[in-house]
């Protein structure tokens, strides 16, 4: 009787080099550790040096006065004449933010081209210095300065939003142009296209979705800024809020605050849908 022949087990193949064990985690750079330690030290120093009176904030007197102040806002004024006045303020605030953003987008696109270095190193340095100045000055400071020249009202607020936003969008647009791939524009130039045509048909289509996203995001920010600029007399809901708070008419102020929240939420939702539609 013959025994069945058992086949010998096949030797297991060794894993190829480069697979199996995970590579070692790279050691953090010394500059990164120094930066993190510096930021941590700044946070600790901020808490130590600032006179934060947490106990006084949570005393019974503070809680009682805060509750009395908040009770003055209820119920909000929802009368028809006052709601029509709020609607006018909402339209004025939206107009200020939209027009300021459009002006800033046009000026930012014009300044973003030299800021990207396409017109030379000197033009890049000068344009970026101008953009740094524009965006370093807050909207409230711009509005305070422009109110002297343009007078009270939404015109000064619109110019203030446009000035600050131009500095922000110009820098972002310049970076977008600088990060575009040069191969499509170079291919058009080799085939006889001029520099303007190469920019419009090769560089601009690459940067346009990012530019639109930046513009919509800044419009959201300008909605909030336009609501605040009214505090210095630039019109819109902010001016209404300052007026009613200064007269201690809390119920009317509560309606204005509710309109601000609804307007900002609506614009955020609209901007999100537009950005989502552009990125599909």
Q: For position 203, what pLDDT does the model report?
A: 82
Tell whether 225 is covered by a domain.
yes
| Mean pLDDT for the stretch of residues 40-64 | 83
Residue numbers of the domain that contains 181: 74-278
Q: For position 126, what pLDDT does the model report?
A: 92
Tell whether 262 is covered by a domain.
yes
Q: Residue written as tokens 């046009």?
A: 106
| Mean pLDDT for the stretch of residues 60-70 | 83
How many independent structural domains does the chain possess? 1
Tell whether 201 is covered by a domain.
yes
**Is pLDDT above 70 for 88?**
yes
Q: Is the peptide bond before 75 cis (omega within 30 degrees of 0)?
A: yes
Summarised one tens digit per residue, pLDDT across range 206-231 is 888 888 888 888 888 888 888 778 77
**Is pLDDT above 70 for 3?**
no
Tell whether 260 is covered by a domain.
yes
Statement: the pTM of the whole predicted model exceeds 0.85:
no
Q: Is the peptide bond before 93 cis (omega within 30 degrees of 0)?
A: no
How many CB atoms sit inside 10 A of residue 92's CB?
22
What percent of the chain clears pLDDT 90, i.e. is strictly above it?
14
DSSP for 157-170, written as a single string: HHHHHHHHHHHHHH
Tell whether 16 is covered by a domain.
no
89: domain CATH number? Answer: 1.10.3720.10
Tell whether 9 is covered by a domain.
no
| Mean pLDDT for the stretch of residues 157-169 | 91
Nearest to 70 by CA among 244, 258, 254: 254
Q: Residue written as tokens 């040069």?
A: 182
What does the CA dihedral 110, 114, 118, 119 come to, rounded to 10 degrees? 110
Tell whether 272 is covered by a domain.
yes
């Amino acid at each position: 009787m013959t025994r069945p022949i058992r086949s010998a087990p096949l030797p297991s193949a060794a894993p190829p080099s480069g697979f199996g064990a995970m590579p070692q985690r790279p050691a953090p750079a010394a500059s990164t550790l120094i930066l993190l330690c510096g930021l941590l030290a700044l946070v600790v120093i901020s808490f130590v040096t600032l006179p934060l009176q947490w106990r006084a904030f949570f005393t019974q007197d503070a809680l009682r006065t805060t509750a009395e102040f908040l009770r003055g806002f209820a119920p909000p004024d929802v009368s028809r004449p006052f709601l029509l006045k709020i609607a006018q303020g909402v339209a004025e605030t939206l107009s200020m933010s939209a027009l300021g953003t459009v002006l800033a987008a046009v000026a930012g696109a014009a300044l973003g081209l030299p800021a990207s270095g396409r017109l030379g190193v000197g033009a890049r340095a000068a344009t970026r210095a101008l953009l740094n100045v524009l965006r370093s000055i807050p909207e409230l400071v711009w509005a305070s300065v422009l109110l002297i020249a343009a007078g009270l009202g939404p015109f000064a607020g619109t110019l203030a939003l446009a000035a600050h936003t131009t500095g922000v969008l110009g820098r972002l647009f310049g970076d977008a142009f600088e990060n575009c791939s040069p191969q499509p524009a170079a291919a058009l130039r080799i085939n006889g296209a001029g520099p303007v045509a190469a920019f419009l048909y090769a560089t601009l289509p690459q940067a346009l979705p990012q530019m639109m996203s930046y513009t919509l995001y800044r419009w959201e920010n300008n909605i909030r800024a336009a609501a605040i600029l009214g505090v210095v007399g630039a019109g819109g809901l902010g001016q209404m809020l300052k007026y009613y708070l200064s007269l201690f008419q809390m119920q009317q102020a509560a309606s204005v605050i509710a309109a601000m929240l609804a307007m900002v939420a609506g614009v955020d939702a609209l901007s999100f849908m537009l950005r989502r539609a552009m990125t599909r």
